[in-house]
């Protein structure tokens, strides 16, 4: 076999390369290895065929070593290797079947290093002076991965041999690394009984006791800095997302101190009491909780909350850990600010409420604080405990939902009937989409996304019935007027002024309906509205329509009477009215005129 040194511009991947999948993580490791050690194993190529010749010379097809070719190509693109970097290559004159067979054989016969040998190799590199950071860089692995392998390589020889012989599982070996002293590891193994020797739960308990997890409620309540400064010891678990706090006496001392601090702060803030669940003289679950009276944020803070949320959405499609350090710091700062503003937005208890209730420190579970708690049987002042009276004219959520749907259907019909205005609506939706992600800023669900965003753009409730090419060719063949009509029909499918979509922006719903001259009357379910309404709403509507009071009686009778007069004049609830809406007494000229307009439409 002849060996050549070839640059990547002379190499192409052979279709007979058996390895089709590309593991992104392993490719990163291979790239790091190439930077540190170069190409250790030559790639295998086929002699150039007639089609593989150009003005620059011959090109060779790589049928074994595609990953190495990909790794070098990426390194050149990233500027980490020169463009003329040459790869060692062995030429083998084989046909397609032979190339396919040899590529497959190379991948099947390749054997991964035995785990124990891998662990020992990492540990040996460390003994020779290499730091974990150096090793991670050279082999393209995370620092935590390298530290874990080094810890496994330092296990007691007896445990390593048991792992090599499959007498203990890798998970069990990982558990023993909680103890850094090999002799102590073996002692723990010998002291455990029967199946406990190979149970990671029992092994960890033998090493760390019933240590407190660093990501648990108690640890968050105390704070890691306070624990460390108090002399608390930590046992690190390199294979979990937490470590163990093992200084039980220090934990108990700090818990008591933290409870005392919080109690002083709460009492100073006007709460009537601050107790742990252990100190309660009643059942926690029998206590009442006051709903905060003072809710909402000042306008400037609400605007900041919206801004922070929009900035956080930029991070939705990325892996935070892969971002540059300054971007990670920006994300965590925004995340913290969002939590603080969101908490404030949920509302606060008034001074009267604080004086009439207290705070419970949940020492029985998560060590969270429950505010506004009132013991069973305690008297509460009306200012802090009575619920505000419900407005009898308030329309229920289901009815509002139906009204919003009726308005949306009416608007869609109007949009489809007015192509010129539909184009203007489409332009406004497209312009506003990427700059204002909040739904209450626009009367439609059409959205436009930034390059690289995988969330896509689409019409709610619609599915593609043909390919892009088919659709484009069909639209391209239309006359301008037909194209406008087709586009208006598509835009009509995106409009949405429903309660679910524009619940906090009634002005936009009204303005959009007025712009398109929408008359929701044909889509308003008069019978359904009054059947679902409460009596005060029925009476108020009848009084508005007739100028007379409706005698209180059976609801069914009241509904029938009101429906009849409402239909006569095309009555609409306030939710559906626009500035063009007018009504008068039954059969009044204005009402008749309105009905005529509705029929024409």
pLDDT tier at 29 (50, 70, 90 boundaries)?
Answer: confident
Query: How do residues 368-408 score in pLDDT, each as one tens digit?
Result: 888 889 988 776 544 444 444 456 777 877 888 889 899 99
Q: What is the reported pLDDT for 559?
A: 92
For the chain, give the percent of residues with pLDDT over 70: 80
First vs last Cα of the chain: how many Å apart?
85
Residue 350 pLDDT greater than 70, yes or no: yes
pLDDT tier at 594 (50, 70, 90 boundaries)?
Answer: very low
Give the phi and the psi of residue 583 in degrees, each rounded to 5: -155, 160
Structural domain boundaries of the chain?
A: 2-109, 258-385, 397-600
Q: What is the reported pLDDT for 585?
A: 41
With tokens 């939902």, the residue in question is 401
Query: How do residues 168-208 score in pLDDT, each as one tens digit?
Result: 888 888 888 888 889 988 998 999 888 888 888 888 888 87
Q: What is the reported pLDDT for 392?
A: 74
Distance (Å) of CA 3 to CA 42, 45, 61, 110 = 8, 10, 14, 21
Distance CA 250, CA 67 (A): 53
Tokens of 13: 């991947």
Range with lowest mean pLDDT among 90-99, 104-113, 164-173, 450-459: 450-459
Distance CA 492, CA 488 (A): 6
Distance CA 156, CA 177 (A): 10
| DSSP bridge partners of 352 | none
The pLDDT of 337-345, averaged and rounded, is: 77
Tokens of 388: 């505000």
The pLDDT of 106-116, averaged and rounded, is: 57
Spatial contact of 212 and 219, defined as CB atoms under 8 Å apart: yes
User: What is the three-class DSSP state of 520?
Assistant: coil
Residue 6 pLDDT greater than 60, yes or no: yes
* Domain over 2-109 is classified CATH 3.40.50.300: no
Of 163, 182, 184, the closest CA to residue 172 belongs to 163
Distance CA 349, CA 360 (A): 15
Distance CA 176, CA 161 (A): 14
The winner for highest mean pLDDT among 84-98, 192-206, 474-488 is 474-488
User: What is the three-class DSSP state of 385?
Assistant: helix
Residue with more model confidence, 222 or 451: 222
Residue with more model confidence, 321 or 92: 92
Q: What is the reported pLDDT for 385?
A: 41
The pLDDT of 516-529, averaged and rounded, is: 92
pLDDT tier at 21 (50, 70, 90 boundaries)?
Answer: very low
What's the chain's average pLDDT? 79
Q: What is the reported pLDDT for 211?
A: 67
User: What is the three-class DSSP state of 90?
Assistant: strand
Q: What is the reported pLDDT for 583?
A: 64
Residue 66 pLDDT greater than 80, yes or no: yes
Residue 213 pLDDT greater than 50, yes or no: yes
Query: How do residues 405-424 score in pLDDT, each as one tens digit?
Result: 999 999 999 999 999 998 98
SS3 labels along 124-183: HHHHCCCCHHHHHHHHCCCHHHHHHHHHHHCCCHHHHHHHHCCCCCHHHHHHHCCCCCHH
Residue with more model confidence, 242 or 413: 413
Helix axes 115-127, 143-153, angle to 10 degrees: 100
Tokens of 21: 């999948």
Cα torsion through 52, 57, 63, 68, rounded to 10: -140
Residue with more model confidence, 107 or 587: 107
Distance CA 68, CA 73 (A): 9
Q: Which residues of 410-430 are buried (b: 16+ CB within 10 A; e: fewer)?
A: bbbbbbbbbbebbeebbeebe
Distance CA 242, CA 234 (A): 10
The pLDDT of 14-38, averaged and rounded, is: 66
Range with lowest mean pLDDT among 346-350, 399-403, 457-461: 457-461
Query: How do residues 244-294 score in pLDDT, each as one tens digit?
Result: 887 888 988 999 999 999 999 999 888 999 999 888 878 888 888 888 876
Distance (Å) of CA 91 to CA 45, 70, 86 = 5, 19, 15
DSSP 8-state assignment for residue 444: B
Q: What is the reported pLDDT for 573?
A: 93
Residue 591 pLDDT greater than 50, yes or no: no
Q: What is the reported pLDDT for 346?
A: 67
Residue with more model confidence, 523 or 146: 523
Q: What is the reported pLDDT for 386?
A: 44
Of 366, 391, 358, the closest CA to residue 290 belongs to 358
Spatial contact of 374 and 288, defined as CB atoms under 8 Å apart: yes
Spatial contact of 238 and 177, defined as CB atoms under 8 Å apart: yes
Q: How many CB atoms lie within 10 A of CB 339?
A: 11
């Amino acid at each position: 076999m002849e060996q050549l040194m070839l640059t990547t511009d002379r190499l192409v991947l052979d279709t007979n390369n058996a390895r089709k999948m590309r593991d992104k993580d392993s490719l990163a490791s291979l790239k790091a290895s190439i930077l540190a050690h170069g190409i250790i194993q030559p790639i295998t190529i086929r002699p150039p065929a007639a089609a593989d010749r150009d003005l620059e010379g011959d090109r060779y097809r790589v049928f074994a070593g595609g990953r190495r070719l990909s790794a070098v190509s990426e390194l050149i693109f990233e500027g980490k290797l020169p463009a003329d970097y040459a790869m060692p290559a062995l030429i083998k004159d084989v046909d397609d079947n032979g190339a396919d067979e040899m590529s497959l054989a190379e991948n099947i016969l390749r054997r991964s290093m035995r785990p124990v040998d891998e662990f020992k190799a990492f540990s040996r590199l460390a003994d020779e002076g290499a730091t974990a950071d150096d090793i991670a860089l050279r082999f393209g692995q995370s620092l935590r991965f390298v530290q874990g392998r080094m810890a496994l390589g330092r296990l007691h020889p007896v445990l390593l041999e048991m792992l090599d012989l499959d007498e203990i599982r890798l998970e069990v070996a990982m558990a023993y690394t909680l103890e850094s002293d090999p002799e102590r590891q073996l002692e723990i193994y010998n002291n455990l009984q029967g199946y406990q020797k190979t149970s990671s739960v029992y092994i960890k308990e033998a090493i760390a006791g019933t240590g407190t997890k660093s990501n648990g409620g108690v640890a968050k309540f105390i704070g890691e800095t306070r624990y460390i400064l108090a002399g608390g010891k930590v046992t690190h678990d390199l294979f979990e997302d937490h470590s163990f706090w093992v200084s039980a006496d220090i934990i108990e001392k700090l818990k008591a101190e933290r409870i005392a601090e919080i109690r002083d702060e709460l009492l100073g803030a006007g709460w009537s009491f601050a107790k742990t669940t252990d100190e309660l003289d009643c059942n926690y679950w029998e206590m009442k909780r006051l709903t905060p009276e003072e809710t909402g944020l000042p306008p400037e803070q609400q605007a900041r909350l919206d801004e922070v949320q929009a900035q956080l959405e930029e991070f939705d499609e990325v892996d935070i850990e892969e971002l540059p350090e300054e971007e990670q710091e920006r994300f965590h700062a925004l995340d913290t600010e969002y939590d603080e503003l969101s908490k404030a937005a949920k509302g606060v208890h008034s001074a009267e409420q604080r004086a009439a209730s207290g705070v419970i420190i949940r020492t029985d579970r998560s060590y969270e604080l429950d505010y506004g708690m009132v013991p069973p049987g305690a008297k509460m002042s009306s200012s802090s405990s009575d619920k505000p009276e419900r407005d009898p004219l308030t329309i229920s959520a289901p009815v509002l939902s139906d009204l919003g749907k009726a308005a949306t259907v009416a608007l869609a019909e109007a949009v489809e009937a007015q192509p010129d205005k539909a184009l203007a609506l489409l332009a406004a939706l497209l312009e506003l989409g990427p700059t204002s992600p909040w739904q209450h800023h626009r009367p439609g669900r059409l959205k436009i996304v930034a390059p690289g965003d995988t969330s896509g753009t689409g019409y709610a409730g619609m599915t593609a019935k043909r390919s892009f090419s088919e659709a484009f060719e069909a639209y391209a063949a239309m006359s301008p007027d037909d194209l406008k009509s087709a586009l208006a029909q598509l835009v009509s499918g995106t409009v949405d002024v429903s309660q679910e979509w524009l619940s906090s922006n009634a002005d936009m719903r009204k303005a959009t309906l007025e712009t398109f001259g929408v008359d929701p009357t044909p889509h308003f379910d008069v019978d359904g509205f009054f059947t679902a309404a409460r009596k005060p709403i029925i009476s108020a509507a009848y009084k508005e329509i007739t100028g007379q009071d409706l005698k209180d009686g059976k609801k069914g009778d009241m509904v029938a009477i009101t429906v009849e007069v409402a239909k006569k004049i095309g009555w609409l609830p306030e939710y559906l009215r626009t500035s063009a809406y007018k009504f008068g007494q039954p059969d009044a000229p204005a009402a008749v005129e309105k009905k005529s307009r509705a029929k024409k439409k």
